[in-house]
Amino acid sequence: MISNPRMIALGLLLVETFIIPVPNAWGQGRGRNQRPQIPTSPVQIRNGQILEIAPGAVHVSNAEGAEWLFAIEALPGKVTYTGTARPDWLKAGMIVRFTAPIDRKGDVQGDVKELQVFTPRPGYQLGVWMEEAGFAGMPDEDEDAQPDSANQGNSANQGNSAKNPAGDSAPSDDATDNIVPQDETNSKRTTRRSNSDKDAESVNTYLVAGPIKRITDGVVYVSVGGRKTARFKLADDAKIAVDVMGDYSLARPGDRIEVDGKFVIQGRGAATELTIEGASPLTAPEPLRKPRTTSRRRTKPDTSEPTDGPA
């Protein structure tokens, strides 16, 4: 149920614009009951600001301060959100990329200071790339560890602006072939082949792009193919960039927006392309608070017999 009066008003404006016919237009054309053809001349908003946003609609002001209400008809590929985020916003299912020195066990050496959440698309692929030579190998994921399925799904298609170093080409098939043994005293990971201690301690710098499998005790686990995983912690001052396609639900009032669409009537339109830039970092949603229940004390009826007053 929508309780925000401004959201209700936004919905009523949409009904007025796209459901109620334009006055004095009926009766034109061949049939008197024929709905008029509304002109679809283009309309653009540049350097706009979001005033309100709801599923299927956005209320914006342009650079001159004029307000426009748009029904959102844009396809996912025509909706872009860019901005920043705080570490608590990250969750399983999001696709991220980072560059860091990583050993053959898949452990990042030091904290990651820059992370990007991105949408896979041509030129923005998943995989692992090494700066100079072939990939040294990533370990298998813990058999007993399960990804946080509750957090997967909605945010798995998020994007960033840096392309793969190899352009549109996919990473080499040999990128994650080698798998090294894990310390059985500290891990239940399976061992597929033996490597020397020197090989196990080798460190190389990689660009890693893959989905977050889970976040446990501040450690982020990123899948790099199959059951192989890279593990790291974010630095306290880590910078997280966001470039999301197809999801305008991240937008908030105050964000900068550009709109391409179709003109309906003055101040009303249908948006076919949205470009949104976040004004403030994204954060984890606040947990829902249970409504406080007030208990009423029931007063027991007075069953005592009345006493006679003094004679």
- In the chain, % helix, strand, coil (3-state, to 5) comes to 10, 35, 55
**Cα atoms in the 13 Å half-sphere on the side-chain side of 28:** 10
User: Which of these, 175, 111, 171, lies nearest to 138 by C-alpha position?
Assistant: 175
The answer to whether the predicted template modeling score (pTM) of the entire model surpasses 0.75 is no
Question: CB pairs under 8 A, 24+ apart, for 212-219?
Answer: 212/90, 212/91, 212/92, 212/93, 212/94, 212/95, 212/96, 213/92, 213/141, 213/145, 213/147, 213/148, 214/92, 214/145, 214/146, 214/147, 214/148, 215/90, 215/91, 215/92, 215/148, 216/145
What gap in Å lies between CA 258 and CA 248, rounded to an integer?
12
Residues 6+ apart with CB under 8 A from 167: 123
| DSSP assignment string, 36-65 | P-----EEEEEEEEEEEEETTEEEEE-TTS
Q: What are the pLDDT digits (tens) for 155-208?
A: 444 433 344 544 544 454 444 443 333 333 344 443 444 454 555 558 899 999
pLDDT for the residue 250: 96
Identify the pLDDT of residue 154.
40
| Cα–Cα distance for residue pair 60/57, rounded to 1 Å | 10
CB of 70 closer than 8 Å to CB of 264: no
Residue spans of the domains in the chain: they are: 5-23+31-80+247-277, 83-169+199-243
Per the structure block, which two tokens stand in for 9? 């008003």
With beta carbons less than 8 A apart as the criterion, state whether 54 and 7 touch.
Answer: yes
> Residue 58 contacts by C-beta under 8 Å, 6 or more apart in sequence?
50, 52, 69, 70, 72, 248, 251, 257, 259, 271, 274
- pLDDT digits over 223-235, tens only? 988 888 999 999 9
The Cα 81–Cα 117 span in angstroms is 11
In DSSP notation, 148-198 reads -GGG-STTSSEE-SPPPTTTTSPPPTTTT-------TTT------S---HH
> For residue 92, which amino acid is it?
A
Q: Hey, how many other C-beta atoms are within 10 angstroms of the C-beta on 148?
A: 15
CATH class, domain 5-23+31-80+247-277, is mainly beta
CB of 266 closer than 8 Å to CB of 22: no
* Residue of 257, 261, 252, 260 lying closest to 276 (CA atoms): 257
- What local confidence, expressed as pLDDT, does residue 64 receive? 94
> C-alpha angle 202/206/209, rounded to 5°?
135
pLDDT tens, N- to C-terminus, the chain (311 residues): 334 545 544 554 554 555 444 444 434 444 455 555 555 799 999 999 999 999 999 999 999 999 999 999 999 999 999 999 999 999 999 999 999 999 988 899 999 999 999 999 888 889 999 876 444 444 444 433 443 433 333 444 443 334 454 454 445 444 444 333 333 334 444 344 445 455 555 889 999 999 999 999 999 999 988 888 999 999 999 999 999 999 999 999 999 999 999 999 999 999 999 999 999 999 998 877 766 766 566 666 666 666 665 55
